[in-house]
Amino acid sequence: MSRPGYVIKPKEPTVLAGQSEYVLDGNDLMISTRVDTSHIVPGPIDLERFNDALARTLSVFPTHAGRLQRPSDGKGHWKASIYYILLTNDGVPVTVVERDDRTEVPSDSIVQSPWTLTNGVNIVKYLDYGLTEPVMNVTIIRFTKTGSTSIGLSAMHFMGDGFVILHFARTLSQYYQGLELLDPPPSYNHERVSLESVDTTAYAGMPFPGVKHVYSMRETMPHNKPGRIVPVQLTLRIEGSQIKQAHAVAQAQIREKDPTAFLSRQDVLVALLVYSLSHAEPDISPIQSITSLTRGMASTPSHTIGNALLWIPTEPARDFVSETIATIALRVRQSLAKARDPGYITAFNAVHAQKLEAIGNAELGRDLIMRPGDMVINSTWKFDWTSAHFGYPGQTRFYHTLINGPRFVKFFRPNPTLLPDGTWKPSSPDDVEINLFLPNEVKERFKEIISQEVKNLGVVGSIDFIE
């Protein structure tokens, strides 16, 4: 049952008071996608306090209370390079829903598919110059049988990536509790680099996997098209002690050839997935290009508003047949080291911004279904998502979305667990939850291979699979 919705406007003056618009950087123009999250707490939320906290949060994030301006060239097309948020302070719609479900979510995975925890913002309305369409919605779900409450946020991706929505949620949570903020205020002054000011010749041939394939935004998203065979979801949970064991073995193997070589724990986990998936699907091309999504590198402050993301692909393997988990992990590490070159970052941002502007002007969206040979790792493992707990520390669960295509993988810190006796088992920042989709006929073979490779790396105990 839904109650009548309402709109919360920012408390004024906002941090951008006196400014009429906020110009979006080209790298922000992920127009075809949105970011949806839910924080579920095991008790009620006081709506009056929540609404006040939301108004204060929007005062710090006034862009989220604005409206997208889509300038026309007079011929019905978007005009390049002029995308901005009108700082109208029109506010954010809030919907309150009551459900009598016996459980809040159907599975124990952080990734929920299908997604039912937010009233998502409408992408197509922006194409029709919908200047009244909000860029963010809030959905409060009261689960009457469990007593829990879901606080759902849905924002257009051009407003910011996952870190921005976590920053928003943490600010909202702290204001709700009447506590000091945990983070510095968002920065609205990140450097915008034009292609004309950058010498990209030194980085000729730089790949851009995030814009390799596109589709018309007026059509159904490729992963939602009728008749498509949808891969099945699989979640892996690996304990921190197991990760440490696997990392130690892979690190030792690579240092036999180079005593100075360094691998991170995530490098090894990514390599474990790549090796296992490639061998589980021998009839298609092995995974050669492994793209890591990273944020806040070099001069970009971690609290920058918008999409401060770099898509960093590895070099292809010289000989995949002879590759090991350790050598795959080293390729991942080498790609990330290269991306710390300030010149590379500047060139990437300039060219990537131009590409996003071009497909946006053409009303094209990014088709993120990975083709054979490609994999993307979108990791927020280091983010403490449940730190936005609204007064329920150690008892708040976080949920998110993931494109239901193969080889697009997300890493998270696991949620705390409610035990049969009613107490909560906290999650460890060293543990990881890995979410992915894969063909149903491949699933069991993949589970067998990765379980064996974990043993080969000296890991004690088995990893957990959630289906």
Specify if 363 maps to a domain: yes
CB 414 within 8 A of CB 427: yes
Query: Do 344 and 448 reside in the same domain of the chain?
Result: yes
Q: What does the pLDDT look like over 322-353, one tens digit per residue?
A: 999 999 999 999 999 887 888 888 888 888 88
Query: Do 212 and 149 reside in the same domain of the chain?
Result: no
CB 273 within 8 A of CB 410: no
CB 72 within 8 A of CB 127: no
Q: Indicate the residue among 161, 177, 193 that finishes a domain.
A: 177
Q: Indicate the residue among 144, 177, 210 that finishes a domain.
A: 177
pLDDT at 255 over 90: yes
Q: Can you read off the two tokens belonging to residue 219?
A: 């059509």
pLDDT of residue 344: 82
Query: Do 326 and 360 reside in the same domain of the chain?
Result: yes
How far apart (Å, rounded) are the C-alpha atoms in residues 380 and 402? 13
Q: How confident is the model at residue 224 (pLDDT cuts 50, 70, 90)?
A: confident
Query: Do 168 and 281 reside in the same domain of the chain?
Result: no
Specify if 186 maps to a domain: no
Across the range 22-34, mean pLDDT stands at 87
> Domain containing 371 — which CATH number?
3.30.559.10
Specify if 187 maps to a domain: no
- C-alpha closest to that of 9 among 115, 126, 134: 134
CB 215 within 8 A of CB 221: yes
What's the start-to-end Cα distance of the chain, in Å?
30
pLDDT of residue 123: 77
CA neighbours closer than 13 Å in the CB half-sphere of residue 76? 0
Q: What does the pLDDT look like over 83-129, one tens digit per residue?
A: 889 999 999 999 999 999 999 999 999 999 999 999 988 777 777 76
Specify if 416 maps to a domain: yes
Query: Do 221 and 110 reside in the same domain of the chain?
Result: no
Q: Which residue has the higher pLDDT, 356 or 36?
A: 36
pLDDT of residue 147: 97
pLDDT of residue 129: 60
- C-alpha closest to that of 191 among 57, 342, 32, 33: 342
Query: Do 136 and 280 reside in the same domain of the chain?
Result: no
How far apart (Å, rounded) are the C-alpha atoms in residues 398 and 322? 40
Query: Do 329 and 437 reside in the same domain of the chain?
Result: yes
Query: Do 117 and 226 reside in the same domain of the chain?
Result: no
Specify if 429 maps to a domain: yes
Chain mean pLDDT for the chain: 90
CB 40 within 8 A of CB 148: yes
CB 407 within 8 A of CB 277: yes
- E strands present in 341-440: 364-366, 374-379, 397-399, 408-412, 417-418, 424-425, 432-438
Pairing type for strands 289-295 and 92-99 reads unpaired
Across the range 209-233, mean pLDDT stands at 88
Q: How many CB atoms lie within 10 A of CB 418?
A: 13
C-alpha to C-alpha distances, 340 to 280, 334, 345, 346, nearest whole angstrom: 33, 10, 7, 10
Specify if 183 maps to a domain: no
pLDDT of residue 361: 82
Specify if 189 maps to a domain: no
Q: Phi, psi at residue 269, to the nearest 5°? A: -65, -40
Place of tokens 């995949």: 320
Q: What is the dihedral of CA 363, 369, 374, 379, to 10 degrees?
A: 90
Across the range 436-449, mean pLDDT stands at 97
- Quick one: residue 363, left, alpha or beta (phi over 0 = left, psi -120 to 50 = alpha)? left
Q: What does the pLDDT look like over 75-85, one tens digit per residue?
A: 555 555 578 89
What DSSP assignment string belongs to 327-347?
A: HHHHHHHHHHHHTT-HHHHHH
Residues 6+ apart with CB under 8 A from 369: 213, 222, 223, 403, 405, 406, 408
- What's the number of domains the chain is made of? 2
Query: Do 152 and 27 reside in the same domain of the chain?
Result: yes
pLDDT of residue 79: 54
Length of the chain: 467
pLDDT of residue 83: 81
pTM of the model: 0.94
How far apart (Å, rounded) are the C-alpha atoms in residues 352 and 356? 6
* Range of the structural domain that residue 71 is part of: 6-177
pLDDT at 208 over 60: yes
Percent of the residues in the chain that have a pLDDT greater than 90, as a whole number: 69
pLDDT of residue 319: 86
Q: Can you read off the two tokens belonging to residue 424?
A: 């909560």
Q: What does the pLDDT look like over 391-412, one tens digit per residue?
A: 999 999 999 999 999 999 999 9
Specify if 282 maps to a domain: yes
pLDDT at 204 over 80: no
Query: Do 266 and 339 reside in the same domain of the chain?
Result: yes
**Widest CA span in the chain:** 65
Q: How many CB atoms lie within 10 A of CB 12?
A: 11
The DSSP H or E segment spanning 294 is strand 289-295
Q: What does the pLDDT look like over 31-70, one tens digit per residue?
A: 889 999 999 999 999 999 999 999 999 999 999 999 988 7
Query: Do 256 and 163 reside in the same domain of the chain?
Result: no
pLDDT of residue 363: 85
pLDDT of residue 302: 67
Query: Do 364 and 303 reside in the same domain of the chain?
Result: yes
